[in-house]
Structure 1
Amino acid sequence: MTDLAALAETIRRHEAAQGQPISRLGYFCAPFRPGEGPFSDRVIKVYRGLRDDAALDRLAAAHDDYVAALRETGVPLPETAFHLLEGDGPRVPVIVQEALPETALMRPRMQAEGLESTLEMMEAAGQVIARFWNAADRFETRIGFHPSIRNFAVLDGQAVFYDTFPPLIHYSREEMGRMLLLFSDKRLMRLIGPLMRARVTGIQDEWYSAPETLVGLVGSACRLRPKHAQAYLDWGRDFAERAMPRWAEEAVAGMQAAPRLPGYWTGFRKLLGLQGEPNL
């Protein structure tokens, strides 16, 4: 069982020392790994606190359900725990997750390794995507998946997924759109986001579409290694036919050329100063 007092002290020391996060992307937070102490083998993700206790309790329950659903569908996931830390102010959501070797993170590996190796990693990640969607019908609730390259590590040929926030289960499209604003770590997004609520809400749509998650993975690879784009497109079309036949027609249609990010999302990224770093 997690020592919550020790966890709170670890977070307090990190904030006091203004330690460096291990990822700068952090749309929702900047994860960190303590250099010493009882959580030195863990990545800690601290989110914005809320004064709405009912919403926080619902979030905690949804996260537990989502982790269970990911495991049930065969998605490899590090040991992951969700906590609501008590303090002087509102309760604060915190995720504590088993740390993965930085040398296994898929995004930097995709940038540095040869074509054959990157295709092997794409296959490993694709198999996780296919397993999830081929099994997702068993859940009688709205459920999604965000399998971007930056949310995977590849260990011994197996892709491991590690992004469980926000928990993409139970929430309606409108509720998830509000959550994207409510929990954003970027104050600017919380200020201007409500003015563009429809576009912010649309960010999530890919996560709830089986073919679009595959197309999104291929699009990311094409942007990372444009000189290999044709090889990734060829792989993606073949993979859709053999591993995701129910969605192959739509997925293949989306991979006739290198997929591009929606203009509104690239605009948000530039506005918020987000870079394509691993979002541990």
Structure 2
Amino acid sequence: MNTSELNRAVRDALADRGDPVSRLGYFCAPFRPRSGPLSDRVIKTYRGGRDPEVLELLARRHDAYAACLRDAGVTLPETRFLVLEEAGFQRPVILQKALPPETMLRDMLRAADLKTAIALLDQAAISIAGFWAAVARRPERIGYHPSIRNFAMGQEGPIFFDTFPPLIGYSREEMGRLLLRFSESRLIRGIGPILPERIRAIQDEWYSPAGTIVGLIGSAVRLRPDDKADLLDWARGFAETHLTGALKDEVMAELDTPPRLPTIWTATRRILGLEGKPNV
């Protein structure tokens, strides 16, 4: 489809949107059309507005971030970023090739036996460490949000599908403004100007190599609390085998007790009533 046809198909899908695939997203509730030319896609729509300079930069940064992820060895489903024009009002939209529900890593981890679960986690953790190694020498501020809910598992390994916001090139202050600008929650947008540091802090784990790895471990422990000891043993072995230097030391220091979600995220989830399901 050319751009005009694609925009028309997106508008038709929005007019007849199906049930959300997930209600976990901070920014949107992705959905998959029930029929039509985009029925094999997940559609993610974000808060529109009349700030074209913000959205034009967002579109460029999204393309740059998707390229950065792929260059760093991260597998993405086919992903396209659009800005729909609606009488002077512009709406960002991401179209993404739908992934089979049975490949969602979170659900696979819950259903698997312990040995299989650890093998899945090992693949995800290796891919996270590989990403950080690949971008270590890049000059831009680059982040990554590889939580369990943002991964599927294909035949060749992890598939990552969370490209919004594009974590490339934005300062901490700028990303804090994006977190407010595109939040679907009026309450969050109301709290933000009063407690701006609380909102800015949401992003900090995304820009921390150790934080992303520890976050994966903590999520696994929360998913399988009865296997906590075995999962922490695996995590220590992973750090010893695959990490070096300061990154290894930071991760090991966090594994004396089961990692916990940052307070800012537990509070935000509570405010938004978010579920812990795959955010595809």
Q: Using structure 1 for the length normalisation, give the TM-score.
A: 0.95
Instruction: Look up the equivalent residue of 1:265 and give its one-letter code.
Output: W
Deviation for aligned residue 1:140 = 0.9
Deviation for aligned residue 1:207 = 0.7
**SS state at 1:194 partner:** coil
Q: Which runs of 5+ in 2 are unaligned?
A: none
Q: Considering only aligned residues, what root-mean-square deviation do their CA atoms show, in Å? A: 1.5
Deviation for aligned residue 1:14 = 4.1
CA distance in 2, matches of 1:103, 1:36: 21
- In structure 2, the residue matched to 1:106 is 105
- In structure 1, the residue matched to 2:271 is 271
Mapped contact 1:124–1:157 kept (Cα < 8 A) = no
CA distance in 2, matches of 1:225, 1:33: 29
Instruction: Look up the equivalent residue of 2:185 and give its one-letter code.
Output: K
CA distance in 2, matches of 1:26, 1:7: 24
**SS state at 1:138 partner:** coil
**SS state at 2:257 partner:** coil
CA distance in 2, matches of 1:87, 1:249: 51
CA distance in 2, matches of 1:191, 1:11: 30
Mapped contact 1:22–1:32 kept (Cα < 8 A) = yes
Question: Is 1:29–2:24 an aligned residue pair?
Answer: no
Mapped contact 2:18–2:32 kept (Cα < 8 A) = no
1:109-161 Cα distance to aligned partner (Å, 9 max, x none): 11222111111110111111011011112311100110000000011251111
Question: Is 1:74–2:73 an aligned residue pair?
Answer: yes
Mapped contact 1:26–1:185 kept (Cα < 8 A) = no
**SS state at 2:89 partner:** coil
Q: 1:41 to 1:19 in 2, by over 3 A?
A: closer
Mapping for residues 32-51 of structure 1, pairs under 5 Å: 32-51=31-50
Of 141-150 and 114-123, deviating more is 114-123
Mapped contact 1:33–1:42 kept (Cα < 8 A) = yes
CA distance in 1, matches of 2:198, 2:237: 32
Question: Is 1:118–2:156 an aligned residue pair?
Answer: no
Mapped contact 2:19–2:32 kept (Cα < 8 A) = no
- In structure 2, the residue matched to 1:195 is 194
CA distance in 2, matches of 1:13, 1:64: 25
Instruction: Look up the equivalent residue of 2:223 and give its one-letter code.
Output: L
CA distance in 2, matches of 1:15, 1:36: 12
Mapping for residues 133-148 of structure 1, pairs under 5 Å: 133-148=132-147
Question: Which stretches of structure 1, 4 residues or longer, exceed 4 Å deviation after superposition?
Answer: none
Mapped contact 1:121–1:157 kept (Cα < 8 A) = no
1:45-103 Cα distance to aligned partner (Å, 9 max, x none): 11111211111111111111101110111011111111111122421111111111110
CA distance in 1, matches of 2:228, 2:87: 51
CA distance in 2, matches of 1:128, 1:230: 23
Mapping for residues 215-230 of structure 1, pairs under 5 Å: 215-230=214-229
- In structure 2, the residue matched to 1:238 is 237
Q: Which runs of 5+ in 1 are unaligned?
A: none
In the alignment of these two chains, the number of paired residues is 279
Instruction: Look up the equivalent residue of 2:248 and give its one-letter code.
Output: A
CA distance in 2, matches of 1:109, 1:149: 10
Of all paired residues, the percent bearing the same amino acid is 52
- In structure 2, the residue matched to 1:86 is 85
- In structure 2, the residue matched to 1:153 is 152
Q: Using structure 2 for the length normalisation, give the TM-score.
A: 0.95
